[in-house]
Amino acid sequence: MKESMNFINHKYETIIQDNGDTRDKLRQLQEENGSMQSKIDDLTSRVNQLEQNSRMTNIEIQCMPEKKDENLLNLVIELGKTINCNISEDNLAHYTRIAKLKKDSVRPRSIIVQFNSSKKRDQYLAAAIKYNKLNPNDKLNSSHAGLPGPKSPIFICEHLSATNKALHAAARQAAKDKGYKYVWVRSGRVYMRKTEHSEYKIIRNINSLNNLP
């Protein structure tokens, strides 16, 4: 009986020791995992910033009706005339339609326009925003690009990285859910403001949205 008890006690102490070692290893792994996750988040943020920086001379024109024989250069120039920001082909480096994110979407493919300078890009964006504010009953639409047929609204915005575009969409939904009146993008960053006179908030990631009052 005594030998059996000693054997059981020894096994119990061994189990306790092994359990303590396991907890120490688990704690160490959790710390290492937290450190690795922090590094991954930092690298992801840097990659996203690089992607956004590469788009700093671009705009995205959304919902412009598509035609087989369309001339994208003329569309962009005509829009410029409407918003009082005249441009020529010399101001542009590239322009093209891009593939849809959702193949079954009925929305026309977006047009990406790359300017030769961020200054001219910013002037074009600012002019589009100003035009819509001054003409709330006749905001930018397909007729302003010289397209015949029924008018359909079009939107001129910054060309966001995939990460920032998803964040912008999440911010618009959060604004509806939490009663925020304003959501906008400037230089690739997403901003929100609850009222006209409240302080704006920079939305850096999903956690920023989760922490909104």
SS3 assignment for 47-67: HHHHHHHCCCCEEEEECCCCC
- List the domain boundaries for the chain: 1-53, 56-159, 160-213
**In what helix (H) or strand (E) does residue 97 lie, and over which residues does it extend?**
strand 92-97
Splitting the chain (213 residues) into consecutive groups of 10 residues, what average pLDDT does each group show? Answer: 72 74 79 80 87 94 92 94 94 92 86 95 95 94 90 94 92 92 91 90 87 83
Distance (Å, whole) CA 21 – CA 40: 28
pLDDT at 209: 87
Closest CA to 151 of 93, 38, 35, 65: 65
Q: Which superfamily does 56-159 belong to?
A: L1 transposable element, RRM domain (3.30.70.1820)
The structure tokens listed for 38 are 């922090």
Q: What DSSP designation does 19 have? A: H
pLDDT at 109: 93
pLDDT at 139: 95
pLDDT at 76: 95
